[in-house]
Structure 1
Amino acid sequence: MMGVQAPLIALLVALLILVFLRQLWTRRHYPPGPLSLPVIGGMWRIGIRISEDLAIKLAKQYGNIYCVWQGHQPVIIVSGFQAVKEVLINHGKAFSERPSSQFGKTVLKERGLVDSKGHTWKQQRRFAVVTLRKLGLGKKGMEHQIQEEAQQLVETFARAKGQPLDPSLPITNAVSNVICAVTFGHRFSLEDEKFQKLVEAADVGFKFAFTIFHVWYEMFPWIMKRLPGPHKKAFSAFESVLSFAREETEKHKEQQSFHEPQDFIDFYLLEMWKRRNEPNSTYDEENLVHSIHDFFIAGTETTATSLRWALLLLTNHPDIQDKVYKEIEAVFGSSCSICYQEIKKLPYTNAVIHEMQRSKYNLLVGLLRQCTKDVKVNGYLIPKGAYIVPDLHSVLLDPERWETPEKFNPNHFLDKDGHFVAREEFLPFGAGTRVCPGEHLARIEVFIFLTSLLRAFRLQLPEGVSKLRQDAIVGVTLSPHPYKICAVPRRGSS
């Protein structure tokens, strides 16, 4: 018996070696990366815990374009400004697709704005961009709504009377209410139980992405579907947001308000009615509720996280905070409110906001793309169907483009005369065809919320605290650790 087994084992080993060598040969023009093992590919290199700088460390080892195999699926990570620019801008059309992920098929159904593709994505994105403009994005109407939420936030801070407070929930509620006003046409009371559950569900769902459980679900969906874990909670959270969107849609249909549209749902229902006889129309209720879901989850979490980092950094850097306040007061004095267009009069404030978004970029990496055809980039073959990860975090920390990449330094956006300087390396909202459609709304929110708070309060460390932590909690977002600050009312503020 042993005489038969030995040749069989030798044959099996020889076959495995041949398969391995064939694999190396067929992939010889692909970007380098960790050794691809059977079943798990190169995912062993990521480990159990994903660190904030993992992608940057891998780029130092393998180069600015490298490949990590997810089983038999090539995942190409693109790092640093020049490589990301080459992929997202110079070859933008070839990398404009979204991959069909297991998670997307289960929860997002490849609908809406973020996870859709092809004709569906083009129609849904174009409609979203046009409708935001119709609703007043860039005009005083929408700014007035944001200013109202900013005033509510100032009043919430004021109730703490200078004592330590955690700004996280008030900020998230304020940003969420801006999205609610845009999509539903009304805001919610902060005490509204349903609203609080909605905000909590959005937070849980968003933070699931890029966790190790998410990676495992993508690799072994047939197993993970049968096992308990955070993925089950995330699925439930996503469904809660979708159910809320369906309820609001039904209310709008009952009210028949879409003939005189006032919000995103109204405009969408009107578009559905107009195109009801078009065979290629993708305007339907499922795309509507998934678009609302995308607005709410992406629009709330990223902007709220940016503001939380902003308050933390300004509290840790009182000298920078004071310079911002002095600039605002010198230009506007006791003027009731500041419009976003007036940011041009505040070069230092503008530089500080940009630097906060650069130094504390709030996503682990950019959102996944998929290659639509074979493309040569920097001498490497990126095959059709490969997943593409544009590492925007590495762009904003690229040592070849930023003078002091690891330091919070507003001078990155100022010239020698103190004038604001826009920089092409500043890509927190992405670039190319898939650039964030809510970029302008997010910019307005951060500016109005931040200036409103700084005019009313001086942010200080609580007694006994020497500095707030500046390392991040790693998920799909890079969030600050929970912290408290003292919002001390300035003289003359309400």
Structure 2
Amino acid sequence: MDGVTTAIFLLLLAIICLSLTFTASDKGQLPPGPKPLPILGNLLQLRSQDLLTSLTKLSKEYGSVYTVYLGPRRVVVLSGYQTVKEALVDKGEEFSGRGSYPVFFNFTKGNGLAFSNGDRWKVLRRWSIQILRNFGMGKKSIENQILEESSFLLEVLRNTEGKPFDPVFTLSRSVSNIICSVIFGRRFDYEDDRLLTIITFINDNFKIMSSPWGEMYNIFPNLLDWVPGPHRRLFQNYAGMKDLIARSIREHQDSLDPNSPRDFIDCFLIKMAQEKQDPLSHFQMDTLLMTTHNLLFGGTETVGTTLRHTFLILMKYPKIQARVQEEIDRVVGRSRSPTLEDRVSMPYTDAVIHEAQRFADIVPMNLPHRVIRDTPFRGFLIPKDTDVITLLNTVHYDPSQFKTPKEFNPEHFLDANQSFKKSPAFMPFSAGRRLCLGEPLARMELFLFLSSILQNFTLEPTVKPEDIDLTPISSGLGKVPRPFQLSIRAR
């Protein structure tokens, strides 16, 4: 009994301490929010819906800046274009930290490009941007690789011969090959085990992270480490990806020519050798492993998922698809492939792609940020190291920025003369200091892949257009489109 009594006493003491933390810490400085319970935080207010819906609903009650407790973790939530822009752009330095995200952190341990902080993040980001540019990011050379990959994709689509198929792997293989060519120095055959393994692991993890299991793991990671469920596959997949990347790194080490780097991995290995004697160097083997994983994940899943959403949208609205095809025929014709130079002459196609990204809103809560110092913000004081969730869905669906935010409407990105019009509230790649460094590549891929496909084919649904459901199946980390099949008809 003494042991049980002691355990109960310690548990009660922990609850009291947590309760005092919730009620006393920074009182009068933090934004308002629902009253939390010890340990559970605000889970009772969040339990009835997915986290995205719940947080969006709370913003209507508590305003564009409020505090919520995800279990014991304190988070400030920002909603609406003006508020998010003020944080990420106007106060970009203060909000430049990366917040806690256990589904990634328990693998990366805060290492790598996307989830590091402080000097390590600044050094890795600056160096990575330069290396990626050297290998064609946003330049003509990478455009040629995308066009070449498009030709392989078009051949696969022709071979479907009009029969229904699931586009997930078909699109993911082509998209992933672009970032693979930058990282590994080569594209893979579509049946290559390495490419298929990468896509399988990444697609599966994106689904799990976007599910209730992924959401709960982010709130109670220590508890769910002991609970069976699909979330445990996350770390099996991570381990598999780490082994695959490590094998590729060993192959690079065996054939490395320091005077002639072939790809991102070669450049990182050379940088490691140059700073080998520096104990403070950020260029270590584990950093290379994690950074490579970050680039593969971001470069494979986001564009592939966006294309699938776009396919569904174009099949639901065949008149929009037909108008895009008419513009392609008029500007490009059928005798050559579309190029990036054509984009300025194709404002409607460009507007449809932007609107698809806005409407699909595939990373609706963004990756969490963190304030790196005590930060005055809209009459409140956000303490240093507080995590911040920026609700990008409230930016992309802000009625002050978009005339019909709940509808798919390419006119959001067209002016009165039907010329392409930018919107400051377009943030699918986030904004500010943590803006996705793959944005130039993703924009190129979306335009070239989609325009090439629609130049050659018409997308046809297996159900009536009015029966197509654009509602995603999950809205955690990402909005995953509902599984679907389609047929393609040669034009």
RMSD: 2.3
Q: Does the 8 Å CA contact 2:317/2:465 hold for their aligned counterparts? A: no
Q: Which runs of 5+ in 1 are unaligned?
A: 1-11
Aligned counterparts of 1:99 and 1:478: Cα–Cα separation in 2: 20
> What pairs with 1:61-100 in structure 2 (closer than 5 Å)?
61-100=61-100
Aligned counterparts of 1:21 and 1:309: Cα–Cα separation in 2: 43
CA distance change for structure 1 residues 192 and 383 in 2, over 3 Å: closer, same or farther? Answer: same
The answer for the alignment partner of 2:319 in structure 1 is 319
Q: Does residue 60 of structure 1 match 2:49?
A: no
Q: Does the 8 Å CA contact 1:259/1:270 hold for their aligned counterparts? A: no
Aligned counterparts of 2:337 and 2:266: Cα–Cα separation in 1: 30
Aligned residue for 2:231, secondary structure, equals: helix
Aligned residue for 1:276, secondary structure, equals: coil
Letter in 2 for 1:368: P
Letter in 1 for 2:369: R
> What pairs with 1:42-441 in structure 2 (closer than 5 Å)?
42-47=42-47, 49-50=49-50, 53-209=53-209, 211-441=211-441
Aligned counterparts of 1:277 and 1:20: Cα–Cα separation in 2: 47
Range 403-412 or range 107-116, more displaced = 107-116
Aligned counterparts of 1:17 and 1:480: Cα–Cα separation in 2: 43
Aligned counterparts of 2:18 and 2:210: Cα–Cα separation in 1: 34
CA distance change for structure 1 residues 482 and 328 in 2, over 3 Å: closer, same or farther? Answer: same
Aligned counterparts of 2:136 and 2:113: Cα–Cα separation in 1: 20
Aligned residue for 2:195, secondary structure, equals: helix
Shift of residue 218, structure 1, vs aligned partner: 4.1
Aligned counterparts of 2:463 and 2:121: Cα–Cα separation in 1: 51
CA distance change for structure 1 residues 373 and 168 in 2, over 3 Å: closer, same or farther? Answer: same
CA distance change for structure 1 residues 376 and 464 in 2, over 3 Å: closer, same or farther? Answer: closer
Shift of residue 196, structure 1, vs aligned partner: 1.6
Aligned residue for 1:278, secondary structure, equals: coil
Aligned counterparts of 2:358 and 2:348: Cα–Cα separation in 1: 15
The answer for the alignment partner of 1:488 in structure 2 is 489
CA distance change for structure 1 residues 430 and 22 in 2, over 3 Å: closer, same or farther? Answer: closer
Shift of residue 155, structure 1, vs aligned partner: 1.2
CA distance change for structure 1 residues 363 and 100 in 2, over 3 Å: closer, same or farther? Answer: closer
Q: Does the 8 Å CA contact 2:210/2:477 hold for their aligned counterparts? A: yes
CA distance change for structure 1 residues 293 and 35 in 2, over 3 Å: closer, same or farther? Answer: same
Q: Does the 8 Å CA contact 1:43/1:68 hold for their aligned counterparts? A: no
Shift of residue 407, structure 1, vs aligned partner: 0.6
Q: Does the 8 Å CA contact 1:52/1:472 hold for their aligned counterparts? A: no
Shift of residue 210, structure 1, vs aligned partner: 5.3
Aligned counterparts of 1:444 and 1:316: Cα–Cα separation in 2: 24
Q: Does the 8 Å CA contact 2:100/2:387 hold for their aligned counterparts? A: no
Shift of residue 74, structure 1, vs aligned partner: 1.4
Shift of residue 338, structure 1, vs aligned partner: 2.1
Aligned residue for 2:441, secondary structure, equals: helix
1:292-333 CA distance string (max 9 Å, x none) = 100111211111011001111111111111111111111121
Shift of residue 238, structure 1, vs aligned partner: 1.3
Shift of residue 419, structure 1, vs aligned partner: 0.8
Range 21-30 or range 319-328, more displaced = 21-30
Shift of residue 102, structure 1, vs aligned partner: 4.3
Shift of residue 280, structure 1, vs aligned partner: 2.9
Aligned residue for 2:93, secondary structure, equals: helix
Shift of residue 467, structure 1, vs aligned partner: 3.1
1:18-43 CA distance string (max 9 Å, x none) = 96699168423321222200111112
Shift of residue 206, structure 1, vs aligned partner: 2.6
Letter in 1 for 2:417: D
Q: Does the 8 Å CA contact 2:71/2:220 hold for their aligned counterparts? A: no
The answer for the alignment partner of 1:478 in structure 2 is 479
Shift of residue 183, structure 1, vs aligned partner: 0.6
Aligned counterparts of 2:398 and 2:22: Cα–Cα separation in 1: 36
CA distance change for structure 1 residues 465 and 286 in 2, over 3 Å: closer, same or farther? Answer: same
Aligned counterparts of 1:272 and 1:290: Cα–Cα separation in 2: 15
Shift of residue 211, structure 1, vs aligned partner: 3.9
The answer for the alignment partner of 2:3 in structure 1 is none
Shift of residue 398, structure 1, vs aligned partner: 0.5
Aligned counterparts of 1:126 and 1:17: Cα–Cα separation in 2: 42
Aligned counterparts of 2:219 and 2:477: Cα–Cα separation in 1: 18
TM-score (norm 1): 0.91
Q: Does the 8 Å CA contact 1:49/1:212 hold for their aligned counterparts? A: no
Aligned counterparts of 2:72 and 2:104: Cα–Cα separation in 1: 19
1:171-218 CA distance string (max 9 Å, x none) = 011111112111101122222233222211111223333544344434
Q: Does the 8 Å CA contact 2:100/2:368 hold for their aligned counterparts? A: no
The answer for the alignment partner of 2:4 in structure 1 is none
Aligned counterparts of 2:458 and 2:217: Cα–Cα separation in 1: 45
Aligned residue for 1:67, secondary structure, equals: strand
1:238-257 CA distance string (max 9 Å, x none) = 12112111111100000123
CA distance change for structure 1 residues 19 and 131 in 2, over 3 Å: closer, same or farther? Answer: closer
Aligned counterparts of 1:19 and 1:162: Cα–Cα separation in 2: 62
CA distance change for structure 1 residues 329 and 410 in 2, over 3 Å: closer, same or farther? Answer: same
Aligned counterparts of 1:317 and 1:18: Cα–Cα separation in 2: 52
Letter in 2 for 1:480: P
Q: Does the 8 Å CA contact 2:397/2:406 hold for their aligned counterparts? A: yes
Identical residues among aligned pairs (%):
35
Aligned counterparts of 1:79 and 1:161: Cα–Cα separation in 2: 46
Aligned counterparts of 1:97 and 1:51: Cα–Cα separation in 2: 22
Q: Does the 8 Å CA contact 1:52/1:478 hold for their aligned counterparts? A: no
Shift of residue 164, structure 1, vs aligned partner: 1.9
1:376-411 CA distance string (max 9 Å, x none) = 211122121211011111100011111000011111
Range 180-189 or range 16-25, more displaced = 16-25
Letter in 2 for 1:169: F
Aligned counterparts of 1:423 and 1:378: Cα–Cα separation in 2: 24
Aligned counterparts of 1:261 and 1:24: Cα–Cα separation in 2: 56
Aligned counterparts of 2:111 and 2:51: Cα–Cα separation in 1: 30
CA distance change for structure 1 residues 447 and 309 in 2, over 3 Å: closer, same or farther? Answer: same
Letter in 2 for 1:417: N
Aligned residue for 1:483, secondary structure, equals: coil
TM-score (norm 2): 0.92
Letter in 1 for 2:63: G
Q: Does the 8 Å CA contact 1:358/1:426 hold for their aligned counterparts? A: yes
The answer for the alignment partner of 2:9 in structure 1 is none
The answer for the alignment partner of 2:41 in structure 1 is 41
Letter in 2 for 1:110: G
Shift of residue 375, structure 1, vs aligned partner: 1.5
Aligned residue for 2:33, secondary structure, equals: coil
